[in-house]
Structure 1
Amino acid sequence: MSNSATSFQALRRLLRYARGYRRRIVAASACSIVNKLFDIAPEILIGVAIDVVVNQERSFVARVGFETAQQQILVLAVLTFFIWAGESLFEYLYQVLWRNLAQRLQADLRQDSYEHAQRLDMAYFESRSSGQLVATMNDDVNQLERFLDGGANAMIQVGVTVVAVGAVFFVISPLIALLAFTPIPLIIWGAFFFQRKAGPLYADVREKVGDLASRLGNNLAGIATIKSFTSEAREAERLREVSEAYVEANRRAIQVSSAFIPVIRMAILAGFLATFTVGGMLALRGDLNVGAYGVLVFLTQRLLWPLTGLAEVIDLFERAMASTRRILDLLAVPITVRDNHGASLPEPVRGEVSFERVSFRYGSSGEGVEGVSLHVPAGNTLALVGATGSGKSTLVKLLLRFYDPDSGRICIDGQPIDGVSLASLRGAIGLVSQDVYLFEGSVRDNIAYGRPQASEAEVIEAARTAEAWEFIQALPQGLDTAVGERGVRLSGGQRQRLSLARALLKDPPILVLDEATSAVDNETEAAIQRSLARIGHGRTVIMIAHRLSTIVHADEIVVIEGGRVAEHGTHDSLLAADGRYAAQWRVQTGALATADVE
């Protein structure tokens, strides 16, 4: 498919998306059309005025009832006033309508693309950089806004100019009309020629914008690592390379788009000279009214010179359509994890969890789980252990329906989780992971994230239960202390305790701890263990742990190996079985004993 067809296909897709804005689009387009009609009218009045001065009582205006030249001039003055007033009014209207439409549409596109992205399964985010997504939702949407803000009106008015001025030309002199319009096919061909050349170049520009945003986002997020390895110069050079690639992509696009105006100017000159010379000769012979000749000369400029703006319009159009394709392609990504709105888990949720011959493989790596069957009675604690990549976290992702299993099913209280709404499912589960994410804001905001309406007393109680209240009180503003981006102003242990408090305030019947104590110090681990001992009563707890000392009191321990259940039982029974768990226990306790001796 040609680039021009691709761009117009993107435009059709955009118009389908914007069908709810059709009345606004029609109103804005109508104002653009009326404004342009008023805009070309003064050139006609200039010709009429010349006709009045030259022919006076024999002028065109005299034939409609105004006999004296003075009356005719006054009539033209009144018409000029109303034409200029009308032009100004409709210019105000089309600017307001187009700009408000641009703002409304870009806001809705950004919101819709973000909400759609939130509903996509985790595999989509694992295969794409966040920088590319941010560039699509921000910079690409802004490119479309810039086109709607001025380019759409310019395209409409160029079309109106050609039609309206062409009609006047053919009424006055078909011969001169043909001469004046001769360059237009060349101009239009040139516009599409440059558009075909510019289309892929601007698509490349959009890709380079995403690469640049991704590099900036990754570097700023990893600034501590960059500093610790004194890699500032190397990362600055890598950013320079990506930035230069963006500059080079823009340079190629600019080189093509900038060549358009000089070529078109020569075509315009040919049309203007034809009108100027041939019309002048006809006027000198008396075959063409002097006033009509003036109209033709002025309208030739009005017809042809705006066509030089096609370069800028096409530039805006190509940038906008390249961005539109990226935005609408994001909106077209299918949602594989379907939400069953309206269906809920039976209340009250007891917390019984079962995996029934569940199998799942990641498309990218082929790793996953195979035929896993587990049963966790309500109020019990299940611990999952195994080597990194064995499939433990995959089971948690399947329980939360970040992915759907390839086969088998997962039930809560006997209800298959794919038959209930995501809000009901995830509302019943509290997740505390190793990689704690805190949002920029206050300590209070982060603890109350799952229940924004919670009272201060409830927030404090959750903090006490998570053994976070003591350090929160020591912070400069207590609960109102800002945690910084991703909680950078807090220690790892503090962030982990806030994450636990956040899950506790949600008060879920099922609590999932995904290696929640693996990255904290011994004191924090002991504090979290005390918290878990208190909150585990009457609540189903699923724990993933590398430190076996943290799970010795679990009701059942399951060893996952290669995506399958290798062993299961209590701590004592697994030690007695002298299998994989017992071997790992001896390694960890032996290492601890050695550390104690040292």
Structure 2
Amino acid sequence: MTRPGAIPGGPDQKPKDFGPALRRLLAILGRRRWVLGGVLLSAVGSVVLNALAPRILGHATDLIFAGVIGSRLPAGISRADAAAGLRARGDSTYADLVGSMTHLTPGRGVDFAAVGNVLMTVVLLYAGSSALAWLMGFLLNTLTQRTVQSLRTDVEAKVHRLPLSYFDGSQRGDLLSRVTNDLDNVSQSMQQTVNQFLNSVLMVIAILAVMLWISPLLSLVAVATVPLAFLATAFIAKRSKPHFISQWSSTGSLNAQVEEAFTGHELIKVYGRRDEVEARFDERNAALFESSWRAQFISGTIMPFIMFLGNLNYVAVAVVGGLRVASGSLTLGEVQAFIQYSRQFTQPLTQLGSMFNLMQSGVASAERIFDILDAEEEVPDPADAASPAEDHGRIVFDDVSFRYLPDRPLIDSLSLVAEPGHMVAIVGPTGAGKTTLVNLIMRFYDVDAGVIALDGVDTGRMTRDDLRERTGMVLQDSWLFGGTIRENIAYGDPDASEDEVIEAARVSHVDHFVRILPDGYDTVIDDEGGGVSAGEKQLITIARAFLAKPTILILDEATSSVDTRTELLIQQAMANLRTDRTSFVIAHRLSTVRDADTILVMEEGRIVEQGSHDELLTARGAYHRLYNSQFAGAVGGSD
């Protein structure tokens, strides 16, 4: 039964600010402080070594350049004398250049030994940087995967603490999309962006420090366009954010549509609604395409814009640097290193811009996951929980009221007593509150007023596990998991022996069809029950309930999928099982409840009639009308 209301955090929810979700995601990363510290230390070491290399490599350029110039000057004089001679000939610019070259020796060529030492130092620096980068990648991969594993565990645990109303008001496909697609997207985004973000930020800081060391003037030229880059990134990101939210919401909506169509594909074909389903799919697919295209296109403009600014920086640095070399303020090696740094400086900014769309996508998925983690949970079990002293199965409803929505009454002032060993049948039209009644017994929902007592103990004072361990439930929609028939039956009692499993199968009439299967009880069935018929699936779920030996047995249209003969056999088996146990049977086919000790007739959440089959027929009330609608000939013959 679908309950009113929408899933919290569903596709219709308005986007939230990214800041809280991003900070929360980083806080989850920070739970593993030692690993995170190792990542930061190795990242800093790798970046520092990588940043020092061009500066030292520039020294090799200076040695080579000084050797070339020195070989053209007369030997036996000092560098100052050579500069003075050039200035006397009127070549002041050349004289300033020679005077500023501290490694120049007139008449001496390139010192290849010194150049080799410099190059070997650079190689060692790059090798150390690479080793530390590998270590950072290893630690970061461990950190992100452990974080996502922890997040998956938190989501799984949270799902089991959510009330049934959360799932009743949700689209199953969207919920599955959150715990699969969105979690995978968070994992991929963290894996790619954290590494890139750390490297980029640290590289910008390290390179800026070295550039200031070389030349504050050129550094000012290099960073002149950075504020413009940040403003452009913020402007573009603000406009792409809603589209990333829409992208993942549309993904969830599309998954819900696909899951619904795959589950009901037979009915779609029977009723000839394929065109309608395809049209709805195309509509949602088009919405996903539109939001994805806009998100990627808008955010994708960040990188080209930053690259354009980087090229402007390169031209400006080259021009100003050339003038500084000519004036002797900087060496050629320093300008060469600075140009390399300026390209490296804009590269991290470009990477930050290019990864921003990926970061937004990951944070948008994280928001959807956090919506589940922040959803309101079931009311906790009482600390001083009570438990029945004996198991008889006496259920008492005392003036119980319940409603799904505050302004829509469903069950008001309901009182009844179900004695141990009795079969209580609940009948009535669709929407009368039959399933709601047993949901209240199981505490899938808590009552708004009144008390439901089991063997003298208010079920609200019992733990849910204690209550449900005393209850067996078989629904109209049978559920099996991938595994053998034996494993599916033993799900009712994992500690049951082989003989107990077979006995439960025998009394529920599973044994007779399992024996003819090639692998018997070891026959593997999938989670959709493939390999057995719908009726046989239901028999397996009934055998599972028998094996659990519950104090209370609830059957919600449990025999609707079996033939009449098997239905009679199951009723006989349940009669044996009901000794000192209470059974609640929800039925639309009144032939299945004739032998019930008490029949409750519900209309609009109220018990309008109560009694045995014969008593209710004699009263000629609501039950008589229901029975007459199904067995008009039999009722007419008895009048």
1:263 is aligned, of 305, 310, 321, to 305
| Residue 534 (str. 1) matches residue 545 (str. 2) | no
Is 1:149 the counterpart of 2:191 in the alignment? Answer: yes
1:495-510 mapped onto 2 (5 Å cutoff): 495-510=537-552
Specify the SS of the correspondent of 2:515.
helix
Instruction: Classify 1:337/1:465 alpha carbon distance in 2 versus 1 (closer, same or farther; 3 Å).
Output: farther
Closer/same/farther in 2, CA of residues 283 and 41 from structure 1, 3 Å limit = same
Q: Tell whether the 8 Å contact from 2:57 to 2:118 is kept in structure 1 after alignment.
A: no
**C-alpha deviation, 1:177, in angstroms:** 0.6
| Structure 2 residue corresponding to 1:487, chosen from 512, 529, 533 | 529
Are the aligned partners of 1:372 and 1:565 in contact in 2 as well (CA < 8 Å)?
yes
How far apart, CA to CA, are the structure 2 residues paired with 1:193 and 1:126? 40
Pair 1:211 & 2:253 matched? yes
Checking the alignment, whether the CA contact within 8 Å between 1:4 and 1:192 is kept in structure 2 is no
Q: Is the 8 A contact 2:58 2:333 kept in 1?
A: yes
- Counterpart of 1:49 in structure 2 is 60
Deviation (angstroms), 1:544: 1.4
C-alpha change, 1:575 and 1:5, in structure 2 (3 Å) is closer
* Alignment counterpart, residue 11 of structure 1, candidates 17, 22, 25: 22
Supply the distance in 2 between the matched residues of 1:79 and 1:510 (Cα, whole angstroms): 80
Contact 1:510 1:541 in 2 (8 A): yes
Contact 1:40–1:302 (CA<8 Å) still a contact in 2? no
The answer to whether the Cα contact below 8 Å between 1:355 and 1:372 also exists between their aligned partners in 2 is yes
Number of residue pairs the alignment of both structures matches: 588
1:26 matched residue in structure 2: 37
Letter of the 1:7 partner, please give it: F
Equivalent-residue separation in structure 1 for 2:222 and 2:417 (angstroms): 84
Q: Does 1:304 align with 2:346?
A: yes
Give the distance between the partners of 1:94 and 1:349, measured in 2 at CA.
60
Residue in 2 that maps onto 1:560: 602
Task: Give the CA deviation at 1:199.
Answer: 0.8
Correspondence list, 1:164-243, <5 A: 164-243=206-285
User: Given the alignment of the two structures, is residue 96 of structure 1 paired with residue 107 of structure 2, yes or no?
Assistant: no
Equivalent pair of 1:120/1:337 in contact (CA under 8 Å): no
Letter in 2 for 1:497: L
> Residue 148 of structure 1 aligns to a residue in which SS?
helix
Q: Specify whether residues 586 and 8 from structure 1 end up closer, same or farther in structure 2 by C-alpha distance, changes over 3 A only.
A: closer
Cα 1:299–1:198 change in 2 (3 A) is same
Alignment-derived partner of residue 486 in structure 2:
444
The residue correspondences of 1:235-384 to structure 2 (distance < 5 A) are 235-340=277-382, 343=385, 345-346=387-388, 348-363=390-405, 366=408, 368-384=410-426
Distance 2:128 2:568 in 1: 78
Q: Which residue of 2 aligns with 1:40?
A: 51
1-side partners of 2:520 and 2:509: how far apart?
14
Rate the CA distance shift 1:489–1:235 in 2: closer, same or farther, 3 A.
farther
Counterpart code for 2:42 = C
Deviates more, 1:127-136 or 1:358-367: 358-367
Contact 1:510 1:539 in 2 (8 A): yes
Is the 1:368–1:394 contact (alpha carbons within 8 Å) kept by the matching residues of 2?
Answer: no
Q: CA 1:391/1:152 → structure 2, altered by over 3 Å: closer, same or farther?
A: same
Which residue identity is paired with 2:314? F
Q: Matched residue of 2:580: which SS?
A: coil
CA distance in 1: counterparts of 2:185 and 2:355, whole angstroms: 13
| Deviation readout 1:419-475 (Å, 9 max, x if unpaired) | 222211111100011121222332222212232343322211111111111111122
CA distance in 2, matches of 1:128, 1:144: 22
Contact 2:318–2:339, Cα closer than 8 Å, also in 1:
yes
Rounded to whole Å, the distance in 1 between the matches of 2:357 and 2:460 is 47
Secondary structure of 2:483's counterpart equals coil
Which residue number in structure 1 is paired with residue 169 of structure 2?
A: 127
| Among candidates 430, 436, 447, match of residue 472 of structure 2 | 430
TM (norm. structure 2) is 0.87
Tell me the alpha carbon deviations over residues 534-570 of structure 1, each in whole angstroms, 9 at most, x when there is no partner.
Answer: 2111211111122333223322222222211212223
Query: How far apart are 1:73 and its partner, in Å?
Result: 3.2
2:353 and 2:472 mapped to 1: Cα distance?
56
Residue 208 (structure 1) shift? 1.0
Aligned match for 2:446, one of 383, 393, 404: 404
Q: Confirm or deny: 8 A CA contact 1:344 1:424 kept in the other structure.
A: no
For residue 467 of structure 1, what is the amino acid of its counterpart? H
Alpha carbons 1:352, 1:376 under 8 Å: kept: yes
Q: Which amino acid aligns with 1:560?
A: M
8 Å Cα contact 1:342-1:421 kept in structure 2: no
RMSD between aligned residues:
2.5
Matched, 1:590 2:632: yes
Preserved contact between residue 52 and residue 60 of structure 1 (Cα < 8 Å):
no
Paired AA for residue 8 in structure 1: G
| Deviations 1:127-148 (CA, angstroms, capped at 9, x unpaired) | 2101111111111111111121
1:256 Cα offset (Å): 0.6
After TM superposition, give the deviation of residue 488 of structure 1 in Å. 4.0
Q: Relative to structure 2, which stretch is displaced further, 520-529 or 47-56? A: 47-56
**CA-to-aligned-CA distance 1:488-515 (integer Å, 9 cap, x gap):** 4322221221111011111111111112
Indicate if the aligned counterparts of 2:388 and 2:456 stay in contact, CA closer than 8 A. Answer: no
Could you tell me which residue of structure 1 aligns to residue 623 of structure 2? 581
Q: Which has the larger radius of gyration?
A: 2
Equivalent position of 2:88 in the other structure: none
Q: Work out the CA distance in 2 between the residues paired with 1:484 and 1:344.
A: 39
Indicate conservation of the 8 Å contact 2:594/2:613, yes or no: yes
2:29 and 2:463 map into 1 onto residues whose CA distance is 29
| Pair 1:461 & 2:514 matched | no
Q: Give 5+ residue unaligned stretches, structure 1.
A: 63-67
User: Alignment partner of 2:396: what SS?
Assistant: strand
Partner of 1:65: none
Supply the distance in 2 between the matched residues of 1:427 and 1:238 (Cα, whole angstroms). Answer: 43
The answer to whether the 8 A contact 2:470-2:550 is kept is yes
Find the aligned partners of 2:195 and 2:425 in 1 and give their Cα distance: 64
Shift of 1:350: 2.4
Question: Which of 594, 612, 617 pairs up with 1:570?
Answer: 612
| 3-state DSSP of counterpart to 2:524 | coil
Deviations 1:136-176 (A, max 9, x none): 11111111111211211211222112211111111221111
Which residue among 552, 559, 564 is the counterpart of 1:522? 564
Partners of 1:545 and 1:551 within 8 A in 2? yes
Does residue 159 of structure 1 match 2:201?
yes
Pairwise CA distance, 1:71: 5.3
User: Are residues 1:110 and 2:152 paired?
Assistant: yes
